[in-house]
Copies of this chain bind each other. A is one copy, B any other.
Amino acid sequence: MVKTDFSPIADTTRRAEIVALLRRAILTGQLQPGQKLNELRISEQMRVSRAPLREAMRELVQEGILTSIPYAGTFVIDVTAKDIDDAYSLNQVLDEFAIERTWPQRDQRFFDELDRRHEAVKQATRNLDTTRQIETALQLHGLIYEWADNSVLLETWQRLTSRLQMYFALHQHARNEPVPAEDVHETYVHLMKGADMRAAQRHAREHINLDFEQLLSYARSLEQRLSKGA
């Protein structure tokens, strides 16, 4: 009996491609929070009819990065400081859980993949490609979720990730400067290879903490400016 592992073939529907395009545009900040998506304009730009575009948008609405108001339009979600705080605190809990589940399953393949993703982050950092840096950092972090062998947890994390990526992109765009060149993930990778699970959990919590604190203060300052303007 032949026993090969084939991955599912690529989705060949326009809808799937549109979803990917739109998601990327949103997560990289090309489409800004609050912005309205004009169906006719976008469908013409993509050379696609509105049907698959609309279906794609429904998916992204459920994915939580778009929001739709009947007969008014579909918009990129707004990012409030509270949203960030909510996502952050939930992320802490999920991280702890993911590490706990992943811990006994770690093997050589896990360590290799950990290194591979870590390398990707370092490369993006060297290239000063902030968008890619965010992407790779989240992928590195996501490894524990893929390894935890819990589909519902993974799904939940991926939903969270979408938003996190959006938040971080927003932040980077605003700062408009390369991110810390020093590698903050070194310790994390080291700990994930080690023997002390509690230490890894603690570090994950504190390490992420830093990033979030920056985000939060930025979001708060944005909101203050907005409320003054209104």
Contacts and interface: CB of A to CB of B under 8 A. Distances in A.
Contact of A16 (B51, B54, B70): B70
Contact of A54 (B55, B82, B151): B55
Nearest to A94: B93
A150 B86 contact: yes
B150 A90 contact: yes
Contacts of A93: 93-94, 97
Given A59-B62, A63-B62, A90-B97, A70 B151 contact: no
Interface string A59-74: 1011110000011000
A152 interface: yes
Interface residues of A, number: 36
Nearest to A60: B62
A113 interface: no
Contacts of A151: 82-83, 86
A68 B2 CA distance: 28
A58 interface: yes
Interface in A1-41: 11-13, 15-16
Contact of A51 (B51, B152, B159): B51
A59 B67 CA distance: 12
A152 B59 contact: no
Interface in A82-98: 82-83, 86-87, 89-90, 93-94, 97
Contacts of A87: 152
A225 to B, nearest CB: 23
9 contacts: A11-B70, A13-B70, A13-B71, A15-B58, A51-B51, A59-B61, A62-B63, A86-B152, A93-B93
Given A51-B51, A55-B58, 19 more contacts: A12-B70, A13-B71, A16-B70, A54-B55, A55-B55, A58-B58, A82-B151, A83-B151, A83-B152, A86-B152, A89-B101, A89-B150, A90-B97, A90-B152, A90-B156, A93-B93, A93-B94, A93-B97, A155-B159
